[in-house]
Structure 1
Amino acid sequence: MPSEPELLSRTALAAFRLNGQFLAAAEAMARPAGLTAAWWQVLGAVLREPLPVAGIARAMGVTRQSVQRVADLLAGRGLAEYIPNPAHRRAKLLRPTEEGRAAVRRIDPAHAEFARRLAGSLGPGELEETVRVLERLVDAMDTIGGR
């Protein structure tokens, strides 16, 4: 039976590889819509409701600075815009423009096809179980502080 440190190492290596695979797939899906994977991630974070850059960064698990850079690029290209934040004068909210929403919608068919292929490869119910396990792992990492 593998030791806990060995299992942790194997989990981390698998997560790093999976992250790379998801980023490559996201780049391939986003490119025809004129987006990058990072642009798609940030736009996706604000599709339901406008958020401050710090809130987007927390949701994505990345630095505020990296989200700020992408948000500024999106705003500069007319794909998103900053609006006043009633809860905080200086921390404006980011929201997609109609052009940004249209770009994300152009990705939807490729995204749906990729999801179908992945679910088919895993088999019935396995994608849902994978999501549950990964969400439990994220919650556990949040609980222990990642240290």
Structure 2
Amino acid sequence: MGPLYRRAHRKVEQDAPIEGLSVGVRAVLVLLREHGPMTVPQLGRAQALSRQFVQRMINDAAARDLVESMPNPAHKRSSLIRLTEEGRAAITAVLDRERAVLRQAGGDLTEADVTACIRVLTHLLHFLDHVDVD
């Protein structure tokens, strides 16, 4: 897993500048695209990152008009962050380009292979999210 993660991460870092997005801003935009408006603390928890780091990524994205704040009816002091049209277009372009590249990686993998891989990785993520390491 380590070598695959490092190579994939490096590829994302290399390709992100094509759209002018850092890896951190890209991650925030992906979450907002998948889940809709979220607070900075929610974005941090979803990525296991500090609120401060996520806030810097939000600030970077907002400076480029990729995200905007909106009132949060559930919490007066914690605004919701949502994608702008520009943000949605930017992250869609990044994901479309990545998917086009990844489609070439399939080789002779079957749908059953991919389904089994997703099941195993999902199980590992769930396990790691809930295991106590003391």
Regarding TM over 0.5, the answer is: yes
In the other structure, the counterpart of 1:30 is: 16
Aligned to 1:70: 57
**What is the aligned counterpart of 1:107 among 86, 91, 94?**
94
2:38 equivalent among 32, 51, 69 = 51
AA of the residue aligned to 1:113: A
Does residue 19 of the first structure (1) align with residue 5 of the second (2)?
yes
Change (3 A) 1:134 1:30: same
The question of whether the paired residues in 2 share the 8 Å contact of 1:30 and 1:107 is answered with yes
Indicate conservation of the 8 Å contact 1:50/1:94, yes or no.
yes
**SS of the residue aligned with 2:104?**
helix
- Distance in 2 of aligned mates of 1:92 and 1:145: 32
Q: Give the root-mean-square deviation of aligned CA atoms.
A: 1.9
Give 3-state SS (helix, strand or coil) of 2:49's partner. Answer: coil
Identity %: 32
Counterparts in 2 of 1:64 and 1:146: CA distance versus 1, 3 Å:
farther
Residue 126 in 1 paired to residue 113 in 2? yes
Q: Which has the larger radius of gyration?
A: 1
Question: Aligned partners of 1:45 and 1:65: how far apart in 2?
Answer: 17
CA drift at 1:117: 2.4
Q: Distance in 1 between matches of 2:107 and 2:52?
A: 38
Identify unmatched segments of 5+ residues in structure 2: none
Count of aligned residue pairs for this structure pair: 132
What's the TM-score, normalizing by structure 2?
Answer: 0.86
CA displacement at 1:51 relative to structure 2: 0.2
**1:86 is the counterpart of 2:73:** yes
CA distance in 1, matches of 2:11, 2:30: 16
Query: What's 1:11 paired with?
Result: none
CA distance in 2, matches of 1:135, 1:146: 19
- Alpha-carbon deviation of 1:61? 2.1
